[in-house]
Each structure stands twice: as C-alpha cells, then as structure tokens.
Amino acid sequence: MSEPGLARVIEGTTELLVPDDFCKKGPGTKRGDLFYNRQMEFGRDISVMFGREMFQEGQKILDGLAATGARGLRLANECGVKADFILNDRNLMAAVLIKENASMNSLEHVAVTSRDLNSLLADEAFDYIDVDPFGTPVGFIDAAVQSCKSRGVVAITATDTAPLYGTYPKTCLRRYGSYSSRSPFAHETGLRILVGYLVREAAKHDRACEPLLCYHADHYFKIYARIVNGANRADAAIRRLGYARYDKESLAREITDSRCGKADAGPLWTGQLFSKELLRKMSVTGDLGTSSRCEKMLTVWREEATSTPLFYKLDELARRTKHSPPKLVVFIERLEDAGFVASRTHFDPKGFKTDAPIDDLIEIFKR
Ligand SMILES: C[S@@+](CC[C@H](N)C(=O)[O-])C[C@H]1O[C@@H](n2cnc3c(N)ncnc32)[C@H](O)[C@@H]1O
C-alpha cells in the first residue's frame, strides 16, 4: 500500500494508517473506498475496556466490518488477551490496509479476510462479533445472533438514529418492526427499540439476548449483549418487551404491556441496559486517548445501571412549573431525601432517572 493518501494516527497504543481526508467530527462519510472516523475513538476505547474484562484466552474475536482495522487491531493489541482475532472487510483495499496496519503493530498473527460478512457468519461461529456498519445494522443481526457461540457476545453499532429517535417513524417500523416516537427521552426509547429488536431476532432461534452495556453517544447507539441458548431464557427476555407511554400535558411516562396510544413507542426493551457487575470491573487507564470522557461515562453508567427507565429533563420540569431549575446534583439529592431512587443518566447532561411519580416530582421541583 503506497503512503500517499494515507495519514498516520495513534489510538490508544495502536498506530494506524488511515485515509488522510479522514472524518474528524460527525457521523462520518465514506471517503473513497476506505473509512475512518476519529470521533469514534471514544467508542473504540470503550470496546478496549470491554474486551479487557470479557475476552478469554483462545476465544474467536471477530471485527466483522473492520475498514482500516481500527477497532479489531486495537482489541488485538490492547486487551492483553491471547485470542484468535479475525478482521474482515469485503473491500479488498480495506483488507490490504488492515494487513499493513497489523504488521506495523507487530500483529501478524491477526487473520484478515475479505468476505461478505453474512457469508462469513454463516460458515463460522465466534465468541465475539463486532458489527459496525454504515447506518443500520439490521442486515447483519440475524446472521450475527446465529453465528455467536452460546455465552458469546455481539457488539452492534447503529448510526441510523433518526428513525430510532422518532424523526422517521415509518422507517423505524419497516426496519425494526417497532413504533418510534419523538419525546424528550427519545434517545432512550431509540436505544431500547434497538435492544428489543436484537432480543426478538435472538428469540427466533431459541436464544436469549442479555444486555451487558448499551449506550448512546454522539451520533450512534452501541449494544454489547450476551447471547445464551435456551427457549425458556428467550421467553423470559421476550417478557421484558413493552411500550413507552408519554403524556405531554402531565409529563408522566410509563412502561406498558401493550400499545394503547398512537404515540406509544415500542415494542422495546424495558429491562436493564447495563450489567452492574461488568461496570464494576471495567476501568479506565491513561493509555486511552479519551480517558477522561471514558471515566465520566463509566461513573454515570454505574449510577444509572439499576435505575427506572425513561429519563426526565430538568428543562421540562422548569417549563411546566415556571420555576428555574436547581442544579442537577442538588435535585437528585432532594429526590433521594424524599425516599425516591434517583440518578443522573448518560442520555442527557441535564437528564435524570427516578421512580418518583410525576406529582411528587413536580412538588419536589417547586421546593
Ligand atoms: C463504518 S465502516 C467500519 C468502521 C470500523 N469498524 C472502524 O471502527 O473504523 C463499515 C465497513 O464495512 C464494510 N462493509 C460494508 N458491507 C459489508 C459486508 N456486507 N461485508 C463485509 N464488509 C462490509 C465497508 O467496506 C466498510 O469498510
């Protein structure tokens, strides 16, 4: 691979050659035939933190849509686990660049393939499958949940946020079989629709999907979920699907079993988005380029790990009550002092989650 047209970047402790017109901000565009988005470094740092806790020796770890190899090579280089790393991209130029990047980091043992991902997934089983496509992941999810070994992990990125947020509800219904809806907490319902879709796709094959770490950041959603064999487990996961209801007048939101109103979002996942156990073990080290952002996120995820779904925003309550909003930490303390569970949420810097009923919430807000 000739150097012109390529730039050298470092992520974590991994050096990479990437297209020199690489996208530094936003969702990223495909430049020429090769894709690299510097803004996704945070997400790749999180992948490394996840892999450091979850990968085990001898496992088969697949970066299915690897592009320059940024994610898969970092997993191979920075997780400190002797596993079989396989990086795949159907674009031959990408595969050549991945090999060059692998050798630049002395990772010659990493296997590089250039196949259609669904055909690769049909042929082989993996312990970890990362699917990071342009836009929606729906075309790869069925193959990924079938190819994943029992107790393995699928890691899914979705950048088609507008349908999931409720901006394009018809597209969401077509793609995910769920109604999306605009609301102050649409980032959360969007993520939960994506998780719910994964749960239903896994259940078709008598497999349960157990969310381990599901979040929203920048312009994308990311889900890390364990896939476990068993029809009963799959049934139990299906029972955690429901709908999100929002009453604009009262600001009340609730999770319901069935879709009663036209604006209800779902079916969506109503269970936890995080494994507390995993978050307790995950840690941030200084070699990660976005370590301070990772630290902040990890702290908030830990806080919200067992919280009630469907967050509120301080601004909503301020508008409704015509009172200026208190500081978020102060308000959370007030809710806790009143005996309610309350936490910050990663979905919004002014957002919070609580089990307080709306009337109590408004009462406490006005104090
Ligand atoms: C968004 S990029 C992946 C970015 C990469 N994971 C990273 O962190 O930089 C998507 C990649 O998927 C590849 N791709 C698209 N469809 C594919 C398919 N059906 N099978 C294999 N690769 C595919 C594209 O060539 C592209 O390089």
Does the structural domain 311-366 have CATH classification 3.30.56.70?
Answer: yes
Q: Could you tell me which residues are beta bridge partners of residue 221?
A: 158, 216
* Pocket test residue of 38, 65, 75 for ligand 1, highest count of atoms within 8 A of CB: 65
Alpha carbon distance 166, 180 (integer Å):
5
The residues pairing with 17 across neighbouring beta strands, listed in sequence order, are 8
Please tell me the distance between residue 124's alpha carbon and the centre of ligand 1 in angstroms: 18
Domain boundaries for CATH 3.30.56.70 within the chain: 311-366
Domain spanning 6-281, CATH architecture:
3-Layer(aba) Sandwich (3.40)
| pLDDT by position in tens, the chain (length 367) | 446 689 999 999 999 999 987 766 555 545 457 999 999 999 999 999 999 999 999 999 999 999 999 999 999 999 999 999 999 999 999 999 999 999 999 998 899 999 999 999 999 999 999 999 999 999 999 999 999 999 999 999 999 999 999 999 999 999 999 999 999 999 999 999 999 999 999 999 999 999 999 999 999 999 999 999 999 999 999 999 999 999 999 999 999 999 988 889 999 999 999 999 999 999 999 899 999 999 999 999 999 999 999 999 999 999 999 999 999 999 999 999 999 999 999 999 999 999 999 999 999 999 8
Where, residue-wise, is CATH 3.40.50.150 in the chain?
6-281
Which burial class, exposed, middle or buried, applies to 4 when counting CB atoms under 10 A from its CB (0-12, 13-18, 19+)? exposed
Q: Which is nearest to 13 in space by CA: 53, 73, 65, 67?
A: 73
- Cα–ligand 1 centroid distance for 251 (angstroms): 41
Task: Kindly state the helix (H) or strand (E) to which residue 194 belongs, with its residue range.
Answer: helix 186-203
* Cβ(340) – ligand 1 distance below 6 Å: no
